Amino acid sequence: MSSADNSSSGNGKSVMAKVLMPLKWCWRLLRRVNLTAWIFISMVVGVLLGWLAPGFSVNLQPISNVFLYMIQCLIVPLIFSTLAVGIAGHGDDVAKIGRLALKSIIYFEILTVFALALGTIMANLLKPGKGVSLAGADASQGEQVATGKSITWESELYSIVPKSFFKAAVDNEVLQIVFCSVMFAIAMIKAPKHVKQPMLVFLTSLSELMFIVTKIVMNFAPLGIGASLAYTIGKSGVGILATLGKLLGYFYLSLIVFVVVILLPNIFLARIPLKGFIQCIGQPTLIGFSTASSEAALPLAMENLQKFGVPQSIVAFVMPVGYSFNLAGTTLYLALASIFAAQAGGINMPLGQQVVMMFTLMLTSKGVAAVPRASLVILLSTLQSFDLPVEAVAVIMGVDALMDMGRTAINIIGNCLATVVLAKWENDFGKQIEEDRVSFEQDLEEGHDHKEYDTKEQVYHH
């Protein structure tokens, strides 16, 4: 090859390198953006798409659904393995399970009462239903939501104990999976060591693998979240905000007041590191808010809580149970929406009747997790029981998807906080970090590397 050919070849490579340099720089810059930042970017892009191109955005729902399906397929093996290992692998104290269950129910009920009380107070102060006309609303539209669905004490009981573990797994019945996991863990505790140990090793490996799979799935989160928001905004339309913006604005104001007045003092009273807790719940809350799905946030929330210092046994028990019994955002919404219906119908409810209605909601709201769109089902049945206009459900349905995002986020925050508070109550918060510290020092003495401890320590101290 001649020197001229070599020169032209070298020039070609130089030009190619100059062309590729900006692309390489952009790629490196994009790789430095963390997942939280990508989620924020996708949320902004999703809202803009839904607003500017609603016709295109409503076709993006399959992308959002695929992300939710990816998350849902993790939930059963993750809950079963972590809860079984958490109970059977960290001691043989069966009484501790009952004590933790009792404390959980007490805490959940207290928080539910506060949420209902705040929702009622805010509704009476702000009067979101005043001036709203129900003349054009179709009652049958709201009643269609409840077709074939009912929430009774029998259905509540059946939602805990499954006919079949595999059916519960197929249907993603979280509370039934918890029941089966606890029974299996107790059996492991009572089993001989040669029977228990191999199963414990298997479930521990399964639990760790499921958290790795969760990290892989989370890489798809920004795409799924952006598509979900674009679909929601595109379907509801910006025009609905002008019509029912008052109800929507008052609802989100009530959620903010709930966080400031109820949850924040809880954090300070329990002496929970605020900055670390915010970092712990940040990504799960954003995922839950943008997808309006608590399930979508569950795997990442469980992982982050363990890194924050909550023992695996408490995380694996409290989080799934809280999804059925600790839905503060939903109960606040039900209280506000019920009073809204009375105000929109021009009905002046005495305080005593409002208290009775809130007590009814406290009991019926426990079935929310087991029934699709159950918040609307419960609202409709409550309105019918107290002779309030059911047409209000049809009006609320216009912004229910946007309200669902807010109440889902508060449900997630409330459950994460409950998990940390109960770990503090049991004097177990941070013990795993301490065990990792001791293990880390032993590894250093033996010349081993222990990178996992470094990560946990950083999160805890933050």
Distance between CA atoms of residues 109 and 114, nearest Å = 9
Quickly count: other Cβ atoms within 10 Å of residue 127's Cβ. 15
83, 132, 370, 431 from 88: Cα distances, Å: 8, 55, 27, 17
Give residue 98's pLDDT. Answer: 81
Give residue 241's pLDDT. Answer: 63
pTM of the model: 0.79
Helices (H), 292-430: 294-308, 312-325, 328-344, 351-364, 374-385, 391-396, 400-425
Distance between CA atoms of residues 350 and 357, nearest Å = 11
Distance between CA atoms of residues 244 and 45, nearest Å = 24
Query: Across the 462 residues of the chain, what is the mean pLDDT of every consecutive 10-residue run?
Result: 52 59 63 76 87 87 87 87 80 73 90 92 89 63 52 67 87 84 88 89 90 87 86 74 78 95 94 92 91 86 92 88 85 92 88 88 65 69 84 80 88 94 88 60 58 44 42
Residue 425 half-sphere exposure toward CB, CA atoms < 13 A:
19
Give residue 73's pLDDT. Answer: 87
Give residue 26's pLDDT. Answer: 64
Distance between CA atoms of residues 449 and 296, nearest Å = 34
53, 61, 194, 300, 308 from 221: Cα distances, Å: 22, 14, 42, 11, 22
Architecture of domain 35-431: Orthogonal Bundle (1.10)
Give residue 35's pLDDT. Answer: 75
Quickly count: other Cβ atoms within 10 Å of residue 212's Cβ. 10
Give residue 455's pLDDT. Answer: 44
Domain ranges of the chain: 35-431
75, 294, 326, 417, 419 from 306: Cα distances, Å: 16, 18, 20, 13, 10
